[in-house]
C-alpha cells in the first residue's frame, strides 16, 4: 500500500521527449493515446500498434501513441524485461518507462508520473485517451471530439464509463481494499472506470495540479475522480464507452459481429488476435450492418 503523501521522483529508464514535437508544438497533437502497459505485455503492444493505436492522421488531425510502464522482477529478470522494451523503443519510439515497481497498487503513481511527463513534454495536446488493453474505436473518438463545441482541448472534458455512489472496500482480502487510514471517507466522488476514458489536455493539467496536494490512494481511476472533485469539476458519462461490458442479444450467431463494434468508442479487452481481426472488419468498406445492430447502441457522434 502506498503511504499517504508518497511522492518521490523516479528516474526514467525510457523516454520519448519529442513525441509531441516538443512542448511548444504539442498543440498539433489532437489525440494522444496513453496506454498503461507492463514490460511483458509485448503482444498487446504489438497488436495495438497495428490497430487502434496506430499513429496516423485521421480526418486531418494527428493521433500519437505512448505506452507507460514501470519495472518489475528481480535483478536479472528486470534487466531482461527492460531489454525487451529497449528493443521495442529502437523500433517504435513509443515507450515511457520509470524505475518503480510496476504493480496494480502503483497504478496511481504511474498515472501521476505520466501527467508530470505531459506537463513537461506535451502540455498542449488537445485530448488524451487514457486506457489499458481495451478495444478502442479511435476513428470514432476523433470524430466525436471534433464535433464538440470546444474542440481545442482548452475546456474541461472527462468522459467514460461513469461510476457514482461507490465507496472504499473495507475487506482486507479484496484487490480493491482501501484501509481507513488511507481514505477515511466512506464514499468516493464520481469517477470513470479505468479501462479507458477521454479527457482534454486542460483537464489533464488540472488533475496534475491537484495531485500535488492529494495523498495517493492505490485505486488510480478513483484518484482521478478525487482530483477532479477538488478542482470543483466532475466526469460525465459517455454511452459509447462500454468498459463494463456490452449487451449483445442472446441467440446472436456471432458475438464478434463487427456491426456491434462499429459505432462504439471503447469496449472491454479482446484477445490480441481478435483485436486485429475486429479492427480490419470494422474498416471493411463492404461491411453492411442492419440498423438493428448498430442502432441498439446508437451513439450520437
Ligand atoms: C517555447 O516557447 C517559449 C515561449 O514562446 C520560448 O521562450 C521557448 O524558448 C520555446 N522553446 C523551444 C524549445 O522552442
Ligand atoms: C511502488 O513502487 C515503489 C518504488 O519502486 C516500491 O517501493 C513499492 O513497493 C511499490 N508499491 C507496491 C504496492 O508495489
Ligand atoms: C497548473 O498549475 C500551474 C502552476 O501553478 C499553472 O500555471 C497552470 O495554469 C495550472 N493549470 C491548470 C489547467 O489549472
pLDDT in tens, 220-233: 999 999 999 999 99
Contact 227, 138 (CB under 8 A): no
Q: Quote the ligand 1 centre to 121 CA distance (angstroms).
A: 12
What stretches of the chain show up as alpha helix (H) in DSSP?
A: 42-50, 75-92, 107-121, 138-146, 201-211, 220-230, 272-282, 291-294
Q: 176 Cβ partners below 8 Å, 6+ apart?
A: 168, 169, 219
Q: What is the pTM of this model?
A: 0.90
Tell me the ligand closest to 213's alpha carbon.
Answer: 3
Residue 246 banded pLDDT, cuts 50, 70, 90: low
Ligand 2, pocket-test mutation among 100, 178, 217, 220, most atoms within 8 A of CB: 100
The closest-lying atom of ligand 3 relative to the alpha carbon of residue 205 is: 13
Q: Which pLDDT belongs to residue 293?
A: 58
For 181-204, write each residue's pLDDT tens digit: 888 888 999 999 988 999 999 999
The closest-lying atom of ligand 1 relative to the alpha carbon of residue 24 is: 1
Give the rounded percent of residues in the chain with a pLDDT score beyond 90: 63
Q: Quote the ligand 3 centre to 232 CA distance (angstroms).
A: 15
Q: Which pLDDT belongs to residue 140?
A: 92
Nearest C-alpha neighbor of 33 from the set 74, 66, 69: 66
Q: Ligand 2 within 6 A of 105 CB?
A: yes
For 251-261, write each residue's pLDDT tens digit: 665 667 788 77
Q: Which pLDDT belongs to residue 300?
A: 42
- Domains of the chain are 12-237 (3.90.550), 244-294 (no CATH)
Query: In angstroms, rounded to a whole number, what is the distance separating the alpha carbons of residues 228 and 176?
Result: 21
Q: Which pLDDT belongs to residue 66?
A: 98
Q: Whose CA is nearest to atom 9 of ligand 2?
A: 101
DSSP state of 174: S
Nearest C-alpha neighbor of 145 from the set 60, 228, 68, 242: 60
Q: Helix or strand or coil: residue 120?
A: helix
pLDDT of residue 47 exceeding 60: yes
Residue 122 banded pLDDT, cuts 50, 70, 90: very high
pLDDT of residue 84 exceeding 70: yes
Q: Whose CA is nearest to atom 11 of ligand 1?
A: 24
Q: Quote the ligand 1 centre to 31 CA distance (angstroms).
A: 22
Nearest C-alpha neighbor of 272 from the set 51, 43, 33: 43
Q: Which pLDDT belongs to residue 3?
A: 44
Q: Ligand 2 within 6 A of 216 CB?
A: no
The two most distant CA atoms of the chain are separated, in Å, by 57
What stretches of 1-106 show up as alpha helix (H) in DSSP?
A: 42-50, 75-92
For 137-191, write each residue's pLDDT tens digit: 999 999 999 999 999 999 999 999 999 988 888 888 888 888 888 888 889 999 9
Query: In angstroms, rounded to a whole number, what is the distance separating the alpha carbons of residues 210 and 296?
Result: 39
Q: Which pLDDT belongs to residue 86?
A: 95
User: What are all long-range contacts of 281-289, with beta carbons under 8 Å and residues at least 24 apart?
Assistant: 282/137, 282/258, 284/258, 287/258, 287/259, 287/262, 289/258, 289/259, 289/262
Q: Helix or strand or coil: residue 283?
A: coil
The closest-lying atom of ligand 2 relative to the alpha carbon of residue 99 is: 5
Q: Which three cell numbers stand for residue 172?
A: 482486507
Amino acid at each position: 500500500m502506498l503511504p499517504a503523501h508518497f511522492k518521490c521522483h523516479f528516474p526514467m529508464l525510457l523516454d520519448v521527449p519529442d513525441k509531441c514535437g516538443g512542448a511548444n508544438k504539442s498543440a498539433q497533437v489532437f489525440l494522444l493515446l496513453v496506454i498503461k502497459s507492463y514490460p511483458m505485455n509485448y503482444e498487446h503492444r504489438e497488436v495495438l500498434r497495428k490497430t487502434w493505436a496506430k499513429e496516423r492522421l485521421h480526418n486531418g488531425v494527428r493521433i500519437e501513441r505512448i505506452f507507460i510502464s514501470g519495472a518489475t522482477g528481480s535483478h536479472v529478470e528486470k534487466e531482461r524485461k527492460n531489454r525487451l522494451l529497449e528493443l521495442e523503443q529502437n523500433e517504435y519510439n513509443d515507450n515511457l518507462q520509470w524505475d518503480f515497481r510496476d504493480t496494480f497498487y502503483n497504478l496511481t503513481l504511474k498515472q501521476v508520473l505520466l501527467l508530470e511527463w505531459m506537463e513537461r513534454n506535451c502540455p498542449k495536446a488537445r485530448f488524451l485517451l487514457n486506457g489499458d488493453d481495451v478495444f478502442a474505436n479511435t476513428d470514432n473518438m476523433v470524430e466525436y471530439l471534433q464535433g464538440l463545441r470546444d474542440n481545442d482541448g482548452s475546456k474541461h472534458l472527462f468522459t467514460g464509463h461513469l461510476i457514482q455512489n461507490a465507496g472504499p472496500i473495507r475487506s482486507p482480502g479484496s484487490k480493491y481494499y482501501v484501509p481507513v487510514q488511507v481514505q477515511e471517507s466512506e464514499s468516493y466522488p464520481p469517477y470513470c472506470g479505468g479501462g479507458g476514458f477521454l479527457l482534454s489536455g486542460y483537464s489533464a493539467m488540472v488533475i496534475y495540479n491537484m495531485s500535488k496536494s492529494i495523498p495517493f490512494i492505490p485505486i488510480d481511476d478513483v484518484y482521478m475522480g478525487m482530483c477532479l472533485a477538488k478542482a470543483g469539476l466532475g466526469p460525465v458519462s459517455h454511452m459509447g464507452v462500454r468498459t463494463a461490458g456490452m449487451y449483445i442479444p442472446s441467440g446472436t450467431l456471432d458475438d464478434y459481429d463487427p456491426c456491434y463494434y462499429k459505432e462504439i468508442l471503447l469496449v472491454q479487452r479482446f484477445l490480441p488476435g481478435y483485436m486485429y481481426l475486429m479492427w480490419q472488419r470494422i474498416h471493411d468498406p463492404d461491411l453492411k450492418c442492419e440498423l438493428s445492430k448498430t442502432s441498439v447502441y446508437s451513439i450520437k457522434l
